[in-house]
Structure 1
Amino acid sequence: MGLVGPLWSRREADRYVFGVLVTREHANPAGMIHGGMIASQLDQSVSTVAWEATGRQPCVTGQLDTHFVVAVRPGAFIEARSRVVRQAGSLVFVQAELSVASGIVATGAATIEVMRASVNELNVGNHPSV
């Protein structure tokens, strides 16, 4: 996550906007911003919106659909805006758009699951892949 930022955030009415100034560190071998960087920013945005909508309960991304619209060059400032579409039980459905000054660069949708256990009960630090 250290290379995903520094992440800028701002509150806009009923949602957050997340932004990042992408650099050559975020680029793939073709010189364009890596899709994983864009997907990470998208995931951060949808997760935070779900977290806020659930009263700041721990959440995890169950599914993240990312649709890349145009390539992004280093030096661009990418903004992510997300909104909750529906909440049903322990699931939150969120849609998002990522844009630069010239327009939309990616869209996405996510299913976020609210964790009923506390973070300490999840044993996050004891998982072999963490």
Structure 2
Amino acid sequence: MTNQDTPPDGWKPIRIEGFMGQIGPLLRSTGFEDQNTYGFQTNDGHRNHIDLVHGGVLTSLLDQVAAIVAWNAADRQPTVTVQMDTRFLGAARAGDFLETRATIRHSTRSLIFVDAEITSGNGPVASASAIMKISSQAGQTT
């Protein structure tokens, strides 16, 4: 995808305001079997000083996808990240299309445990385990 205004086939942009909307459009897979799969087209603005996609972009992507999946699992109640452990497994370069998948590992009445991973055409890039708190107010974590 060279034009960020036109998503690749099989993907549609989703509207996200705030920080994630600033770093680039998040795309959702249109395949029924890929409900928890999201895409992200990187560009030169996402690279660090050694020409790799910045770790902050990757962690933001993992956090956002984990939050969306948790939000859906919580019947669209606000969720906030309590903890997220990230593992960098490979490198992504500017221009790589990243796919992020998230799954619910466990949930309680107030917490949702989510696993997420990012892959590119070159294989695994990063993974994370997150604990999301269901909150009556999005800015409240306790």
Is TM-score (shorter-chain normalized) higher than 0.5? yes
Aligned to 1:9: 28
Cα distance in 1 between the residues matched to 2:33 and 2:124: 21
User: What TM-score, normalized to structure 1?
Assistant: 0.85
Identity of aligned residues (%): 37
Question: Aligned residues, how many?
Answer: 120
Alignment of 1:45-124 (within 5 A): 45-117=65-137
Q: Residue type matched to 1:88 in 2?
A: T
For residue 63 of structure 2, the aligned residue among 22, 31, 43 is 43
State the Cα distance separating 1:48 from its structure 2 match.
Answer: 0.4
Kindly indicate whether structure 1 or structure 2 has the higher relative contact order, using CA contacts under 8 Å at least 6 residues apart: 1
Q: Identify which range, 5-14 or 18-27, moves more after superposition.
A: 5-14
- 3-state SS in 1 of match to 2:60: helix
Q: TM-score, normalised by structure 2?
A: 0.78
Superposed CA RMSD in Å reads 1.7
1:68-123: CA deviation from partner (whole Å, max 9, x where unpaired): 01111111001100000000120000001100012111111000000024x5xx59
Show structure 1 runs of 5+ residues with no match. Answer: 124-130
1:13 deviates by 2.9
Consecutive unaligned residues of structure 2, counting only runs of 5 or more, are 1-18
Deviation at 1:7, TM superposition (A): 1.2
